[in-house]
Amino acid sequence: MKYTSIWLKDKFDNKIKKLNKNIETDVLIIGGGITGLSTLYFLKDSNLKITLVDSDLIGHGTTSKSTAKINYLQEHIYYDIATKYDIDTAKLYYDSQIEAINKLKEIIKKENIECNLEKVSSFVYANNKKEIEKLKVEKELLQKFGSIVNEINNNEEYAIMVSDTYVFNPVKYLYKLKEICLKNNKEIYEMTKIIDIKKIDNNYICYTKDNKIKTKKIIIACHYPFFLFPFFMPIKTHIEKSYIMAYLDNYNKYTYITSKKPTKSVRFYKDKNSYKLFLSNSVNICNKLDENKNYKELINQNNQVEFVWKNDDLLTLDKLPYIGIINKSNPNILIGTGYNTWGMTNGTLAGLILSDIILGKNNKYINLCSPLRTNNIIYLFSYLYNLLLNMWSYLRSKIIKNKKWYTNVKIVNENGKSIGIYEENNKKYKVYNKCPHMGCSLIFNEVNKTWDCPCHASSFDIYGKCIKGPSEYDISYNKND
């Protein structure tokens, strides 16, 4: 069994190019997942100088942790949007998902991308009265929008089904986009982390550890965007973690998801072998902090697991993504994030919207997804709840640092600083036990051997190197500090 995503099992002919000099560009894209690569692809024929950087390898971030469903049947999202806004807004979001699906299919066909694209049927399932009523309204909305929807009604169990959704291998897809963009003279740098951004006159200077990038526009295409004060991301969103396993099974052309949290989700993948992917145990990131226990709960459901991994999703309060300009007075920084677990369609949609904004084109989804949209007063309680949840995550991380499940880990104070110590094979690995992002104390993940932030999902290896943001800094221990 491997504690890694099934999408990373293949070896790619990857010549890593790391930034080793100061450069200038017209547009800098930060993040090499489906949002960043889609945006770069849609800009590949422009005369602009476009540069993309990623702190890791292309496609090895959140996109590689996805179940990779290309799906517009997203639990009862149209019911939720219609309730929070109106039917017209729900219809516009539906249109955006259909357009994203069609665009993905078009690219795959046009570029002859071998990425295991399969057309499948998709189900959403409920087994309590409240959720069943929501799904029945969802069915009516989808039919009104133009979809053919079937239902399965079996006493206290109910499901709706559509037959025009898809699944694929997202990493194979992204590596082909990378290859195409490079051939079109677009610059891509991997293992290149941006640690600071400063505005100077009408330009921005983006700093790596050793170099600088001067740019006119910035697209932040990271899972959890950074450098966004005062956008108040922690209040407007929350992070949900879930656990996924893949095991050998007969191939079936369907996907399945429950309508209610905690989510259970199924899809199948066929390459040399046939696998069933099963997702469960979804929970807010500040809860269920014993990762060893969380993984075991999943693995114990099947004794032939080959791959198991964890994914983090950024959820917005109103179910709509944040794509576009974050500040009217500073319109040259854009973001794409908050996809509510539906990253394959919304990452592609983000590429379409962001590229159109850069090129000065109209796009009918700009206002729908705008980070500047005004939320209804009904969100006041949700904002307060998110604020309290973040405060509780922060305080709880400080109160009891030595968790009862720790075996080879302890937290101590040295010279007034909190130090985390992990011991393995009679060797001690010390780090500062404080996330540089917003100061939360870190939790040791005994499965992945990482220090994880229970507030905003930053992650650090046992040496203190930051391997996942939003933190931009390491927590490496220096006894001379």
Query: In 3-state terms, what secondary structure has residue 164?
Result: strand
Q: Which of 45, 48, 55 is nearest to 24 (CA)?
A: 48
Q: Which fold has domain 7-65+171-234+320-378?
A: FAD/NAD(P)-binding domain (3.50.50)
pLDDT of residue 49: 96
Query: Distance from first CA to last CA of the chain, Å, rounded?
Result: 40
Q: Which long-range contacts (CB under 8 A, 24 or more apart) does 10-19 make?
A: 10/171, 10/172, 12/171, 12/175, 14/57, 14/58, 14/175, 16/57, 16/190, 16/191, 17/188, 17/189, 17/190, 18/189, 18/190, 18/191, 18/192, 19/53, 19/189, 19/192, 19/208, 19/211, 19/213
- Give residue for tokens 């109106």: 86
| Bridge pairing between strands 50-53 and 23-30 | parallel
Q: Which of 285, 292, 309, 231 is nearest to 455 (CA)?
A: 285
Task: Per residue of the chain (481 residues), give pLDDT as tens.
Answer: 899 999 999 887 777 899 999 999 999 999 999 999 999 999 999 999 999 999 999 999 899 999 999 999 999 999 999 998 999 999 999 999 999 999 999 999 999 999 999 999 999 999 999 999 999 999 999 999 999 999 999 878 999 999 999 999 999 999 999 999 999 999 999 999 998 899 998 899 999 999 999 999 999 998 877 665 555 566 778 889 999 999 999 999 999 999 988 899 999 999 989 999 999 988 888 788 788 888 898 888 888 899 999 999 999 988 999 999 988 888 999 999 999 999 999 999 999 999 999 999 999 999 999 998 876 556 556 666 666 666 666 666 666 677 888 888 888 888 878 888 899 888 999 988 888 887 888 989 988 899 998 888 889 999 989 888 888 889 888 766 5
| Bridge pairing between strands 212-220 and 23-30 | parallel
**Answer CATH for 400-468 from 2.40.50.140, 2.102.10.10, 1.20.1250.20, 2.60.40.10:** 2.102.10.10
pLDDT of residue 385: 64
Where are the domains positioned within the chain? 7-65+171-234+320-378, 400-468
Residue pair 216/26 in contact (Cβ under 8 Å)? The answer is yes
pLDDT of residue 397: 62
**pTM for the whole thing?**
0.91
